[in-house]
Amino acid sequence: MSALRESALHPKSMAVIGASGNIHEIGGRPIHYRQKHGFAGRIYPIDPAHDEVQGIESDASLAALPEAPELALVIVGGDKAVAAVDDCAARGVKSAVVIASGFGEAGAQGREAQKAMADRARAAGKTARPCPRFRCRRAAHRARAQCADAGRGYVRRISWRVPRRVR
């Protein structure tokens, strides 16, 4: 498996930019599920407003971390997401996943912001691949109920074949 794929699917450390203490919010779910399913790596919540998130010491920024995490989940919106991706590139984060609205789905201005963010990531030597929502939905539908090791909290192997209906 390539190093980039390994860092995204099996990271040894993970930063959650926009972390939340509430497990019902999008910024709290990744931390909660990683802890619940026994993630062995280090989790770094990034939340400048709180000292602790879900029992883990929180940092104000990526620059304050003792190491560069292998994976960063960017769960902040708009310009903050663009700045967070810049911080990830500067800090040496191997993989970043942006979970934010206000980009490609928001019209021409959002598509320009998304393109600018991807261009800046490429300029820093990173691979940037925007994922349109319809492709993600289709992939998730195909992968449903065909995931091995789902109980461990991560996906190890996915079969992408869609079962045909039997008449």
116 and 159 inside one domain: no
Residue pair 61/46 in contact (Cβ under 8 Å)? The answer is yes
Residue pointed to by tokens 């994922």:
131
**What does the angle CA 42 – CA 152 – CA 57 come to, to the nearest 5 degrees?**
25
Contacts with 2 (C-beta within 8 Å, 6 or more apart), sequence order = none
82 and 148 fall within a common domain = no
One domain, residues 80 and 65: yes
Q: How many domains does the chain have?
A: 2
Q: What is the pLDDT of residue 16?
A: 95
- Same domain assignment for residues 138 and 111: no
Sheet holding 71-74, edge to edge: 42-46, 13-17, 71-74, 95-98
* Cα–Cα distance measured from residue 100 to residue 81, given in angstroms and rounded to the nearest whole number: 7
Assess whether 53 and 94 both reside in one domain. Answer: yes
Q: How many CB atoms lie within 10 A of CB 132?
A: 10
- Report the CATH number at residue 90: 3.40.50.720
**pTM, rounded to two decimals:** 0.73
108 and 154 fall within a common domain: no
- Distance, C-alpha 8 to centroid of its chain: 8
Instruction: Render pLDDT for 19-62 as a digit per residue (tens, 0 to 9).
Output: 999 999 999 999 999 999 988 899 999 999 999 999 999 999 99
pLDDT tens track for 116-155: 888 888 887 776 665 554 444 444 444 443 443 344 444 4
Which of 60-64, 66-70, 145-149, 161-165 comes out lowest in average pLDDT? 145-149
Q: Is the model more confident about 163 or about 67?
A: 67
Q: Alpha-carbon distance 136 to 144, whole Å? A: 12
Question: Tokens 């996915």 belong to which residue?
Answer: 158
Q: How far apart (Å, rounded) are the C-alpha atoms in residues 59 and 47?
A: 6
Domain match, 81 and 152 both: no
- Residues 162, 151 within the same domain: yes
On whether both 33 and 83 belong to a single domain, the answer is yes
Is-contact 78 70, C-beta < 8 A? no
Domain identity same for 105 and 165: no
Residues 125 and 136 in one domain: no
pLDDT of the residue at 128: 64
Enclosing domain of residue 100: 3-130
Q: How far apart are CA 89 and CA 17, in angstroms?
A: 14
